[in-house]
Structures are given as C-alpha cells and as structure tokens.
C-alpha cells in the first residue's frame, strides 16, 4: 500500500506531463493493486484526488486510454465511488470515447459507464445528458452480425451497460424503447444464441423492458416468440429455463404475442415439462411445473390463442389439460380448472364441453376439496362452472347433473373468493330457470347465508353478488314461498338498499324484485318495506336527474304496486309524488313518459 501511495504521487506528475511510458507503468500498478484489493485501493484513489485527473487522460489518441477506462470500471464496482466518478467529470469524456474505433477502448469504456450507472441515479442521469445510450444502441446495430468472440464480448458489455442504465427506471426504459432497442436485441439473440453470456444479457434486458406496457407492441412486431421458443427447446438447465420463463410471462400478457407463442410451439414445450415434472418432489421441479402450468393458463386468456388450442374440443392441448383435472397434483388441478374456465369464454366451447362430460369432472374435483380443501382449486373449479352455465342450453343440463347440490356444499366456506364464485355460479344457473330458482329460494340455509353476506362490507364483491342472487331468486321464481322465505330471513332491507347501488344493472334488478314482492306478497313484506324507507328512496330516484330511464320507469311501476298497502299509500301521499311524476310525462324516453301518465292517473284516483 506504501507502493500505491508512491504510484499515486507519481501519477499526478506524469498525468500533467503526459509521459506515456511512465504513465503506463503507473496505470499498470494501479490495476494490479485493484486486482489485489479493490475496495481499499479505490478508497486511496478517491482520497488522492486523482479521479479529476483521469478526465484529462481519457483522450482518443492516447495509448493509455483503455487502461484509464479499465481503472474507472474497476473502481466503479464500489457503490461509494460512483458519485465521485460523476463529480470528477468522467462521464462526458467516457461517452465521447464511445466513438472510438479501438475495440479495447470501447470494451473498457462500456464497462466503466455500465458500472457507474449500476444502481446510481446520478450516474444514469449524467450518461443520459451526455447522450450515451443512443451511441451504444447504434454500436449494437452495426456490430450485431459479427460473430467473432471479441465482438461478442463487446456486445455483451454494451447490453450490460444499457441494462444498468435503465434497470427499474421506467422513463429510461421508455427512452431505450423509443430508440428502437427491442428489434436490435431480438436480432442479437437470434444471431448469437450459441453465446451463453450474451444470450443471458439479452434475456435480462428483455425481462426489464417487457414489464413496460409500451414495449409490448414493439416486441409483437419482432420474431421474439420464435427466438425464445427456439432457445427454450435447447435448454436443459433449470436456471436457464427460469430466465426464459421470466421473459415469457410479461410478454404473454399481450394477446398478439400469446398467439405468436402458441404458433411457435411453446405449448408443446410446456406440456412436456408438466409431463416430466409431475411426479417429482424436488423443489426446482415443483417450481417449474407451477411456472409452466401458470403460463399455459395465461396463453389461454387470449381469444385467438385460446380458440386455436381448443380446436373444436378435439385438440391435443385441450385433451391434455382435461387430464390434469383428475390428477392428484393440486397445482395441475388448479391449472386444469383455470384452463377450462378460460376455454369457457364463448357459447360454442361451453356447449361442447358440457355435452362432453366436463361438468362431472369438475364436480368430482370439487368433491375432493370440500373438507379442508384447497381454496385456489375450489375457486378455479367454481369459476369454470360459472362460465359453463352462461349459455341458456347448458343451464338445465347442469342443473340435472346436480351442480347446485355440489356448489351448495361450499356454503359454509369463510373464504371470500370462494363465496364470490359460488354466488355467481348459482346466479348463472337459475337465470330463467323458474323451478330451480324456487327450489333454491325456499332453501332457508342458503337464504340466511345470503342475508349474512349482504352485510359483508369488507368484501364488496361478495356483498354485491349476494344481493344480486337474492333478487334473482325472486325475479326468476316469481314465487310467493320464496318471497316469504326472504322476508323471514330479513332480506328485504338489502333489496331496498340495492336499489340505491351505483350500478344501474343492480338498481334495476332490485326494483324489479321489489315490484314482484309488492305484487305477490305486499302484506307479508309491508313492515320491512316501511322500515327500510323504500318510499323515500323511490322519491329520491324519481327526482334525481341522473337516474337512468329504466330506473325511473321501474320506480313508477313499483309506486303503483305499493298503493295496495294503506301505510305505504299514506307515505306516498305525504311525499308529494305527483309533482315529480307529472314532470316525467315530458321525458324524452317514451316508455318513461307513458308510465308517468299511468302513475299520475293512479296517484290522482287514489288520493
């Protein structure tokens, strides 16, 4: 270290005099010292004030330039040296060196800039101001096709520099994307796929950039899907495959890229991984099985990619996914059920699957998870059943297969995601199915649970779905017994509250259900309707200009139906409804205007 102090003193003198030979000797000494103890040597360099002198040594003509850049690269490996490098004014001369024709100078300059940028806002900012990124991207473009080892090393350093420059910085990543870095990196990957270090660097860069929404379109216009799948097929090591997975997952969020990945044969690779790893209990294999099956489900979220893989229900992929559902592996059961839910996104697919026995498979799966079951599997299987129940022709088939009984086993679940899907499935099943709606509506256990969930303020989804199912039970059954059950369970107040929902569809469903209650069982519900302040709410809905036409229409229908109750009739008279209703006779919506005239007549007659 005494030697080092001498070298630093000597360097100060020779740096000013520019005696190349002595200078080179001093720089070699410094490099040697850095190789032996980087941190301590860097501290000495910083203390000596020599960094400021380096700026004057970074000149293209000098034979020492590459060594100076190498020293800067080495000291900038230490976090505490990055800001001093910026403050010493090294960025601008380093960026100017990027125009050098000397490969060693370019290599060391790329390293120096990359290390200064690593996790350093000041370093990135200085490189940004000096315009370093564009020059590096231009180099990548022009050197892209040369495959000799020295050039590949330089390309790797340049990729690394851009990565350190933009890592976790959205605006700098967006800048690189606008400079057209993506097509260049994709081309690099294609040409240099034999070079492990460069390939790895490209993958990490893709992983960073793919998180940005604006990158997806650029990626979609390249052959990234083809290149990644080609690379994936060659990989044997878990770590390498994991790196590719990390790029595939964010890219596969884009529908165009989903389709490209499917066409490039990714699905076959994923199915193969599942087959290889399904029986393994090694941690890496379990992780890879999860990643592969999750990615498979993600690919099915795109309409075109999903339909391509469904192949009219005859496709090999669809058949393989079906075989996951009865497996003993929870991850595969989950992925299988989610995949079915994704295939069940249009009527044709749903009808085909129900006709081919998928409902029984899903019910068997649910059955295996009733007692202390896996919540994610329960949620996924219920999601699939809910989607399958959407087409009208499937409802009766699913009801007669016993789906409601299978679903009701989960009424005791305390998990909001399961509760939410259970409610949605039942609501889909009873749509326009009077008998099923009546049967469920008379099920006191179910109705009690619905009323309880209508108060689940922490879970807006569960609360909304419970209200909607209560209303649906009345609307589809039109049954007095169902209304009586709901009144006894205390459900009326929730339907009245639902009429004030911010969602028009829910308001409407509530008003229609309340009109049926008033028409069929007004005496039974009268007290509850009063205490829930229904008449005041209807007055508010009619007076509010923002209320949708169908809300105004159904509110007036309901007012007329309430006139059969003495106490509610009195409330209507006390609130001067006539004023509000008569204004609606000139409403731009014909149905509203007509109903206003009828309601006005009714109110006038009954007053």
One-letter-per-residue 3-state SS of 340-356: HHHHCCCHHHHHHHHHC
What pLDDT score was predicted for residue 313? Answer: 87
d(CA 237, CA 241): 6
**Contacting residues for 107 by C-beta, under 8 A, at least 6 apart:** 66, 153, 154, 157
What is the structure's pLDDT at 62?
84
Would residue 451 count as lying in a domain? Answer: yes
Same domain, yes or no, for 2 and 86? Answer: yes
CATH code for the domain in which residue 179 is found: 1.25.10.10
Which pair of tokens denotes residue 223?
A: 């052959």
- Residue range(s) defining the domain that contains residue 85: 1-130
Residue range 313-333: average pLDDT?
Answer: 91
- Report the pLDDT value the prediction gives residue 372, as an integer from 0 to 100: 72
pLDDT at residue 2, as a whole number: 55
- Tell me the pLDDT of the chain averaged across its residues: 92
Residues 412-446: tens digit of each pLDDT: 999 999 999 999 999 999 999 999 999 999 999 99
Instruction: Give the pLDDT score at 530.
Output: 93
Do residue 325 and residue 219 come from a single domain?
no
Do residues 469 and 516 share a domain? yes
> What are 496-540's pLDDT values in tens digits?
999 999 999 999 999 999 999 999 999 999 999 999 999 999 999
Boundary of a domain, candidates 521, 544, 578 = 521
Task: Tell whether 161 and 110 lie within a shared domain.
Answer: no
Q: Work out the average pLDDT over 354-374.
A: 92
| Same-domain status, 485 and 517 | yes
- In this structure, are 79 and 188 located in the same domain? no
Interior/surface letters 113-135, b for 16+ CB within 10 angstroms, e for the rest: bbbbbbebebbbebbbebebbee
What is the per-residue pLDDT for 69?
97
pLDDT tens digits, residue range 70-100? 999 999 999 999 999 999 999 999 999 999 9
Contacts of 415 (CB under 8 A, 6+ apart): 375, 378, 379
How high is the pLDDT of residue 16? 66
CA distances from 291 to 276, 296, 304, 352 (A): 13, 9, 22, 29
Q: Which residue carries 């090999």 as its tokens? A: 316
Q: Which pTM value belongs to this model?
A: 0.82
Whether 459 and 409 share a structural domain: no
Q: What is the 3-state secondary structure (H, E, C) of 261-277?
A: HHHCCHHHHHHHHHHHH
State the DSSP code for 584.
G
Interval 110-133: pLDDT, tens? 999 999 999 999 999 999 999 999
Q: Which of 521, 551, 574 is the last residue of a domain?
A: 521
Residue 241 falls within a domain, yes or no? yes
Give pLDDT, residue 71.
Answer: 96
Residues 437 and 426 in one domain: no
Residues 21 and 4 in one domain: yes
38 falls within a domain: yes
Q: Which of 20-29, 83-92, 115-124, 307-316 has the lowest mean pLDDT?
A: 20-29
% of the chain exceeding 70 in pLDDT: 98
How many helices (H) and strands (E) would you count in the chain? 41, 0
- Model confidence at 285: pLDDT above 60: yes
- Whether residues 426 and 311 share a domain: the answer is yes
Q: State which of 365, 398, 430 marks the end of a domain.
A: 430
Inter-residue contact 572 to 592 (CB < 8 Å): no
Answer whether residue 1 shows pLDDT above 60: no
**Alpha-carbon gap, residue 230 to 224, rounded angstroms:** 10
**pLDDT tens digits, 161-171:** 999 999 989 99
pLDDT of residue 520: 95
Task: At 250, list the tokens.
Answer: 């964010």
Band of the pLDDT at 380, cuts 50, 70, 90? very high
Q: Residue 55, SS3?
A: helix
SS3 at position 530: helix
Residue 153 lies inside a defined structural domain of this protein? yes
Q: Which residues contact 416 (CB under 8 A, 6 or more apart)?
A: 456, 458, 459, 461, 462
Specify the pLDDT at position 535. 94
Query: In angstroms, how far apart are the furthest CA atoms of the chain?
Result: 114
3-class SS of residue 278: coil
Same domain assignment for residues 423 and 355: yes
How many domains is the chain built from? 5
Q: Are 334 and 374 in contact (CB under 8 A)?
A: yes
pLDDT of residue 63: 86
Q: What is the DSSP letter of 74?
A: H
CA dihedral angle for residue 6, residue 9, residue 14, residue 15, rounded to 10 degrees: 130
What does the alpha-carbon distance between residue 185 and residue 155 come to, in Å, rounded to a whole number? 10
């Amino acid at each position: 270290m005494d030697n080092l102090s001498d070298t630093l003193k000597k360097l100060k003198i020779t740096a000013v005099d520019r005696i190349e030979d002595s200078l080179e000797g001093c720089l070699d000494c410094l490099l040697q010292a850095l190789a032996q103890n980087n941190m301590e040597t860097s501290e000495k360099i910083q203390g000596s004030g020599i960094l400021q002198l380096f700026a004057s040594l970074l000149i293209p003509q000098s034979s020492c330039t590459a060594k100076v850049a190498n020293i800067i690269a080495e000291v900038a490996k230490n976090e505490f040296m990055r800001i001093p490098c910026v403050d010493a004014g090294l960025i601008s001369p380093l960026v100017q060196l990027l125009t050098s024709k000397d490969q060693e100078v370019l290599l060391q300059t790329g390293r120096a800039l990359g290390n200064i940028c690593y996790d350093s806002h000041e370093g990135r900012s200085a490189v940004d101001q000096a315009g370093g990124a564009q020059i590096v991207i231009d180099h990548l473009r022009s050197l892209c096709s040369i495959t000799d080892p020295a050039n590949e090393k330089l390309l790797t350093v340049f990729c690394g520099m851009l990565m350190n420059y933009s890592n976790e910085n959205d605006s700098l990543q967006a800048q690189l994307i606008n400079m057209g870095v993506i097509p260049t990196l994709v081309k690099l990957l294609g040409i240099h796929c034999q070079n492990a270090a460069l390939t790895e660097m490209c993958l990490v860069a893709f992983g960073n950039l793919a998180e940005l929404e604006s990158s997806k379109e650029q990626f979609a216009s390249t052959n990234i899907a083809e290149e990644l799948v080609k690379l994936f097929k060659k990989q044997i090591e878990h770590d390498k495959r994991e790196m590719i997975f990390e790029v595939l997952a964010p890219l596969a969020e884009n529908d165009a890229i989903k389709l490209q990945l499917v066409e490039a044969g990714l699905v076959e690779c994923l199915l193969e991984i599942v087959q290889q790893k399904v029986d393994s209990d090694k941690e890496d294999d379990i992780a890879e099985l999860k990643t592969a099956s999750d990615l498979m489900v993600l690919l099915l979220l795109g309409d075109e990619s999903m339909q391509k893989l469904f192949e009219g229900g005859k496709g090999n992929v669809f058949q393989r996914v079906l075989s996951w559902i009865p497996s003993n592996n929870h991850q595969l059961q989950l992925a299988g059920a989610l995949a079915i839910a994704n295939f069940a996104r249009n009527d044709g697919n749903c009808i085909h699957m129900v006709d081919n026995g998928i409902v029984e498979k899903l019910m068997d799966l649910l059955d295996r998870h009733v007692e202390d079951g896996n919540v994610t599997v329960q949620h996924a299987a219920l999601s699939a059943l809910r989607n399958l129940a959407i087409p009208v022709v499937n409802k009766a088939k699913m009801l007669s297969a016993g789906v409601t009984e299978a679903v009701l086993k989960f009424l005791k679940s305390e998990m909001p995601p399961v509760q939410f899907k259970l409610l949605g499935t039942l609501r889909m099943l009873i749509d326009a199915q009077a008998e099923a709606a009546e049967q469920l509506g008379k099920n006191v256990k179910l109705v009690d649970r619905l009323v309880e969930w209508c108060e689940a303020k922490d879970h807006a989804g569960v609360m909304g779905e419970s209200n909607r199912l209560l209303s649906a039970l009345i609307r589809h059954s039109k049954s007095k017994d169902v209304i009586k059950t709901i009144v006894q369970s205390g459900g009326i107040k929730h339907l009245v509250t639902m009429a004030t929902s911010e969602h028009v569809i829910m308001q409407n469903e509530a008003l229609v259900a309340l009109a049926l209650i008033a028409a069929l069982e007004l005496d039974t519900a009268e007290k509850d309707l009063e205490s829930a302040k229904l008449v005041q709410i209807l007055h508010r809905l009619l007076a509010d200009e923002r209320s949708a036409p169908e809300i105004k229409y159904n509110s007036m229908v309901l007012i007329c139906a309430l006139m059969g109750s003495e106490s509610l009739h009195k409330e209507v008279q006390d609130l001067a409804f006539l004023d509000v209703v008569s204004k609606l006779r000139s409403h731009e919506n014909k149905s509203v205007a007509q109903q206003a005239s009828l309601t006005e007549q009714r109110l006038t007659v009954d007053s």
